[in-house]
Every structure is written in structure tokens, then in C-alpha cells.
Amino acid sequence: MRRGHARCWRVSGPGRRRAGRTTGFRLRRPASAGEWAVAVGGAALGGAVVAALFFGLAEALMRHPSGMVVVVLLAVSAVLYCAERLTAAWTEQEADAALVDLDGLDHAALTLAVRDLMRRDGCTAEAAAHGLFAQTPEGVRLHVRVEGTRSNGGVDAYAVFAARDAAIPGRRSALVVTNGSYTPQARTQAATLGVHLMDRTLLHRWSTEGRPLTTLLPLPHPHP
């Protein structure tokens, strides 16, 4: 061994083997005409067995039509199950992509995204301090405070107090929207002050399921 170059080893069983080497069965190309003959013969034999099983099954089904019905039903069920699983996987991937997009937005971009979602629901929405002034089709007036974060951080109680004050109690309802989460203190104060909260999970549902805001939050009746 040359000096200055240590070799890495690991113990496997009673002896030692050099790191990275594994043992076990490996396929390789036939090295001689004899091996090729054995390989081709084995493949042909396997194909013959599969063909015999297939034709035997087909003959049995022809003799018993009820068995054919069962096989068809099982095949249809398998196809439907696979289609359902694929659809669910695609939907989940699309939802994850949409949520990642929301996660990457800063405060200004997230405010525009919330505005567009509200307009999609038929709400009016205009820029305001730290968010939006909005009104639902039912006439509920909202001050929406938007808190963007790129680290899924927790929004604290300060945002709840600020949203409540900007909403002008008695005239507008307050809503805080974030692509992160809320601290326990923020949730406690929101429940006390009647401020509505939309976190990352609820924002995800709002943006991907196409459900109106009024079906996701217990908004009050319109203010007179």
C-alpha cells in the first residue's frame, strides 16, 4: 500500500470485503455458443408455458361463460382502480405544485394572489394597508390582512390586533391570510376578537378546490 492513501474497509461476515462491493446473483450476456443455446431454449420453453396457460384459460372460459363474466368484471375493476389511483396521484401533484407556488410568494405577490382568488369568487377586492378591502357577493365587508412568509413561519398576535383595528369594528370583519401558520397566542386572540384566520392548509384548499371563501370560513351576515 502506498503511503498517504488509506483504504476503506468494512467487515461482512467472517471476512473482510472492500467497501462498495456486493455479492449476489447477477445477469450477464452468454459468453459462448453453448450458453446462447441454453438461454434461447429457456426463453422458448418459458414462452411455451405461458402460451399453454393462456390458451388453457381461454378454453376453460369458453366452456364456462359465467367464468368469462367474472374475469371481465375483475378486469374492468382493475382498470377503474388504476385510473382512480392515477387521477388521485395527478391531483395530488398538481395541488403540491400549487402550494409550492404559494410558498414562494413574497408579501406583495401573495396579496395579489389573494386578490385574484377573491375576484374569482365574485368578491370585490382593492388594495389597502397590509392587505385588501373586500366585499363578498352576499355583502359581507372584509379587511383582509396578508402575511407572506417563505419559511412557513408562525404569524403572531400582532397581526391579529392590527387586522381587527384596521377593519373598524362594527363595519368590517377582519381576516388574516398567510401561507404559513399561526402561533397559539394568535389563534387565542383571534377567537377572542372574532378575527378569521386562513393558514397555509386552508389557503391551499381555497386555491386548488375552487370553493368560495364563504364556504371555507364562518363569515358573519352582512353589516348594515
pLDDT of residue 65: 64
Backbone angles phi, psi at 86, to 5 degrees: -65, -45
Note down the domain range covering 68: 33-101
CA–CA distance, 167 with 223 (Å, rounded to integer) = 12
**Residues 111 and 87 occupy one common structural domain:** no
Calpha distance 160→194 (Å, rounded): 10
Mean pLDDT of 113-131: 89
| 57 shares a domain with 148 | no
Residue 222 lies in a domain: no
Worst-scoring range by mean pLDDT, 95-99, 122-126, 192-196? 95-99
Domain boundary among 101, 130, 145: 101
Which range is least confidently modeled, 9-23, 88-102, 113-127? 9-23
**pLDDT of amino acid 91:** 44
Question: Are 199 and 153 within 8 A, CB to CB?
Answer: no
Residue 18 lies in a domain: no
- CA distance linking residue 124 with residue 61, whole number of Å: 65
Number of domains in the chain: 2
Last residue of one domain, picked from the residues 50, 70, 101 = 101
Q: Which pLDDT score is estimated for 156? A: 93
Residues 112, 86 share a domain: no
The DSSP bridge pattern shows strands 181-182 and 173-178 to be unpaired
What confidence tens digit (pLDDT) does each residue in 25-73 have?
A: 455 566 666 766 776 777 777 777 777 777 777 776 677 666 555 555 5
* 131-135 vs 141-147, strand pairing mode: antiparallel
Cut 0.85: pTM above it = no
Residue 91 and residue 208: Cα distance in Å, rounded?
10
- Mean pLDDT value of segment 74-95: 52
Contact 151, 105 (CB under 8 A): no
Q: For residues 61 and 53, give the distance between their C-alpha atoms in angstroms, rounded to a whole number.
A: 12
Establish if 173 belongs to a structural domain.
yes
